[in-house]
Amino acid sequence: MSTSIGIDVSKALLDAHLLPRGESRQFPNEAAGHRALARWATKAKPDRIVLEATGGYELAALDALHAAGLPVSRVNPAQARHFARALGTRAKTDAVDALALARMAAAMPLADYRPAEDWQRALRELVQRRGHLVEAIRQETQRQERMTLPLVRQQLARHLATLRQQREAMDRAITEMLAQRPERAALDSVKGSGPVLQAHLLALLPELGTLSPKQVASLAGLAPHPRDSGTMRGQRRCAGGRGAIRPLLYMAAMSAIRYEPAIRDFHQRLVAAGKHGSVALVACMRKLLVILNARLRDAMAERAAMA
C-alpha cells in the first residue's frame, strides 16, 4: 500500500494527514514549521505529498518539501474539492481537507511540483501588480463617468493619473526584465505577441516550451471538451486552465489575424468553412499559443545543444 500525505494550507497553519497510518500533525506556516514538516515527511517516506494552491501561502512549504527531495505536487482547489465530494465528503474543515488530499495523492497520478526560478517569481509579481492597476483604473474610470460633483471628479482624475503612472512604471520594469531573458527572442518571433503577453506567459505559464500542443492548450483552458451522451453530440466548450492568460491571448490573436500570415490564413480557412466567428477566434488563440510553445521549445533545445 502506498504512503501519501495531504497538507491543508492556511495563512498561519499547515494541517497534514499521513496515510495509511492515519496520523495527523499540525505545523506553523513559517520557516521553522516548514523545516519540521520536511523532517516529519522525510521519516514517513511518502510516495506522494499533495498541497492545494492557496493564493501563495503554500509556496514556502512546497519549496521546503521539494528541497528535501520529497515527491510533492500542487493541485487546483476546485479539483481537490470535487475529489472530496466524489468520496462523499460534505464536511469542510482543515483536518478533513488534509485527509481528502492524502487520499487524492494515493489515488491519482499527479505532476511533480517544479519551483519557479527567482526571475520568474519577480516577473510574476510585476505581472500581478500590473493586473491590479489595470483593474483599479477600469473601476475608477467607471466611477468617474457616473459622478457629476466637481470635487469628486477632480479626486478621481488625480487618482487615475497616479494609477496610470504606476502602470507605466510596471510596464517599464516588465520590459526591462524581458530584455534580459533569452526566451524573449522566440516569443517575439510571432506577430501579435507583445511584451504584456510574453510576460504573462513566462510568469504564469512557466511550463511553456516543455509541453505538447494538447497539453499547453489544456493548461491555458483553450482545449475544447466534448459534451456527448448516447446519440446526442453537444457543443464543445473550453473551460478551466489559467484564466488570466486567455484575455491576453484574445487580444494577441486579434492582432495576429491581421499581421501574422500563419494565423491569418488559418482564420480565413475556418471562416470559409462556415465556422462561427467566436469559434474561429478561439481556434486562432489556441494555434497562436501552440506556435509560441513550439518556438520556445526549439529555442531551448538549440541553447541546450550549444551549452
Q: Which residue has the higher pLDDT, 169 or 114?
A: 169
pLDDT value, residue 84? 86
Average pLDDT over residues 174-191: 92
Segment 84-111, tens digit of pLDDT? 888 887 778 888 999 999 999 999 888 8
CA atoms within 13 A on the CB side of 275: 18
Q: Which grid coordinates belong to 142?
A: 467607471
Amino acid letter at 196?
V
Tell whether the model's pLDDT for residue 20 goes beyond 70.
yes
Coil, helix or strand at residue 106: helix
Mean pLDDT along residues 68-97 = 88
At residue 304, the pLDDT reads 83
pLDDT of 85 reads: 87
Q: Which helix (DSSP H) or strand (DSSP E) does residue 159 occupy?
A: helix 150-179
pLDDT tens by residue, 207-260:
889 889 988 988 888 877 666 556 556 566 655 667 788 999 999 999 999 999
pLDDT, average across residues 51-76 = 92
Give the three-class secondary structure for 120.
helix
Contact predicate 29/57, CB 8 Å: yes
Global pTM reads 0.80
- Look up residue 62 and give its three cell numbers: 512546497
What is the band of 144 on the pLDDT scale with cuts at 50, 70, 90?
very high
56-63 average pLDDT score: 92
In the predicted structure, residue 189 carries a pLDDT above the cut 80 = yes
pLDDT, average across residues 4-13? 94
Contact status, residue 246 vs residue 221, Cβ threshold 8 Å: yes
Q: Which residues pair with 74 in a beta bridge?
A: 51
Are 119 and 17 in contact by the 8 Å Cβ rule? The answer is no
Counting residues of the chain whose pLDDT is more than 90, the rounded percentage is 66
Mean pLDDT, residues 9-34 taken together: 94
Mean pLDDT of the chain: 90
If you average pLDDT over residues 279-303, what whole number do you get?
92
More confident residue, 26 or 76: 26
Q: What is the pLDDT of residue 238?
A: 57
Q: Using the structure block, give the residue that is written with the C-alpha cell 511518502.
A: 46
pLDDT band at 80 (very low <50, low <70, confident <90, very high): confident
